[in-house]
């Protein structure tokens, strides 16, 4: 086809189409090289891409041309159409599977520019005295220990990791009644990140409170009856009703900007995306 276009100068739709494709490919190569040279095209790994903030962040990075490696138990169908989105079905609380599955998923990748440890669960809002050790253990497994396994695996197999951000919460420090295991898990997550910052000094670590996001987690809180014992439930419901709770895609923009800003703070810090 190329020869007939050049040598015979036969002008046809197929020649035009071949030239057009050649031009598009050339433009794509030029843009890719330019983006790589500016360090703006990134490999990003995000846990919990199925819904909420993780979904919003995934969409933000893929629509800005970055490659996202997403992990959750269910796949969000809207993300299927993007060629620069790779997906691993993985329950991150199944520790024994993580290393093997993650390594085969990343398939020899040498550099991760950004790792966002976002997957998390909120258990039932109730007093700590009514929360069993089994329940606490499960929340700690998903919100904390899975992140230890993911971090250790990545540092064993990936040559260069530029930045790790763990999505934390104001609950890590607020001590709000009713937030039992969730608060304990986020406080521990902050210290986990602080400690890793001292061990992996070539990588920037931070724990980031992302602000309020209209997500499945907040849907659960919104469905709870008002209860004087747990005033934060009422406050969150009011904030949702007054429009102070961002849609995931809006929250993702704020947090993506905070993630860039985080690099200016000391590695290991606990930050709040609303105050940066």
Ligand X SMILES: NC(=O)c1ccc[n+]([C@@H]2O[C@H](COP(=O)([O-])OP(=O)(O)OC[C@H]3O[C@@H](n4cnc5c(N)ncnc54)[C@H](OP(=O)(O)O)[C@@H]3O)[C@@H](O)[C@H]2O)c1
Closest approach of ligand X to the CB of residue 154, in Å: 16
163 three-class SS? strand
Binding window for ligand X (CB under 6 A); candidates: 36-44, 88-96, 97-105, 150-158: 88-96
Q: Which of 46, 120, 145, 165 binds ligand X (CB under 6 A)?
A: 120
CA–CA gap between residue 89 and residue 190 (Å, rounded): 26
Distances (CA, A) of 9 to 3, 167, 192, 229, 259: 9, 59, 66, 82, 53
C-beta closer to ligand X: residue 43 or 93: 93
206 binds ligand X (CB under 6 A): no
Q: Six-digit token pair at 187? A: 């406080």
Q: Which of 53, 139, 187, 197 binds ligand X (CB under 6 A)?
A: 53
Report the DSSP pairing between strands 111-117 and 85-89. Answer: unpaired
205 three-class SS? strand
C-beta closer to ligand X: residue 53 or 154: 53
48 binds ligand X (CB under 6 A): yes
Spatial contact of 106 and 158, defined as CB atoms under 8 Å apart: yes
- Tokens 């520019």 correspond to 113
Binding window for ligand X (CB under 6 A); candidates: 36-44, 52-60, 106-114, 154-162: 52-60
C-beta closer to ligand X: residue 58 or 267: 58
Task: Return the residues of window 128-187 that contact ligand X according to CB under 6 A.
Answer: 142, 167, 169
C-beta closer to ligand X: residue 41 or 256: 256
212 binds ligand X (CB under 6 A): yes
CA–CA gap between residue 253 and residue 272 (Å, rounded): 14
Q: Give the residue closest to ligand X by C-beta.
A: 52
Q: Which ranges of the chain would DSSP assign to H, the alpha helix?
A: 2-7, 13-37, 52-63, 95-106, 133-140, 146-157, 171-174, 180-199, 216-222, 231-241, 248-262
CA–CA gap between residue 54 and residue 68 (Å, rounded): 11
Closest approach of ligand X to the CB of residue 210, in Å: 5
Residues in contact with ligand X by CB under 6 A are: 47-54, 72-74, 91-93, 118-121, 142, 167, 169, 210, 212-213, 215-218
């Amino acid at each position: 086809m190329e020869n007939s276009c050049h040598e015979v100068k036969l002008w046809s739709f197929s020649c035009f189409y071949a030239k057009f494709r050649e031009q598009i490919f050339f433009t794509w190569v030029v843009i890719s090289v330019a983006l790589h040279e500016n360090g703006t095209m990134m490999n990003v790994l995000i846990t919990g891409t199925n819904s909420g903030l993780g979904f919003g962040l995934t969409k933000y990075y893929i629509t800005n041309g970055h490659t996202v490696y997403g992990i959750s138990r269910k796949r969000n169908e809207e993300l299927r159409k993007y060629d620069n989105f790779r997906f691993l079905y993985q329950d991150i609380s199944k520790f024994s599977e993580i290393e093997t599955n993650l390594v085969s998923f990343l398939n020899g990748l040498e550099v991760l520019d950004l790792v966002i440890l976002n997957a998390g669960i909120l258990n039932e809002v109730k007093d700590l005295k009514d929360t069993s050790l089994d329940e606490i253990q499960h929340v700690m497994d998903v919100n904390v220990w899975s992140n230890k396994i993911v971090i250790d695996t990545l540092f064993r197999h990936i040559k260069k990791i530029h930045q790790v951000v763990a999505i934390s919460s104001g609950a890590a420090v607020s001590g709000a009644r009713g937030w039992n295991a969730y608060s304990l898990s986020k406080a521990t997550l902050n210290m986990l990140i602080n400690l890793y910052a001292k061990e992996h000094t070539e990588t920037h670590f931070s724990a980031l409170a992302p602000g309020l996001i209209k997500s499945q987690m907040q849907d659960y809180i919104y469905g709870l009856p008002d209860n004087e014992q747990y005033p934060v439930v009422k406050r969150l419901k009011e904030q949702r009703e007054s429009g102070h709770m961002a849609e995931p895609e809006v929250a993702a923009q704020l947090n993506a900007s905070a993630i860039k800003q985080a690099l200016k703070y000391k590695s290991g810090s606990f930050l709040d995306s609303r105050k940066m």
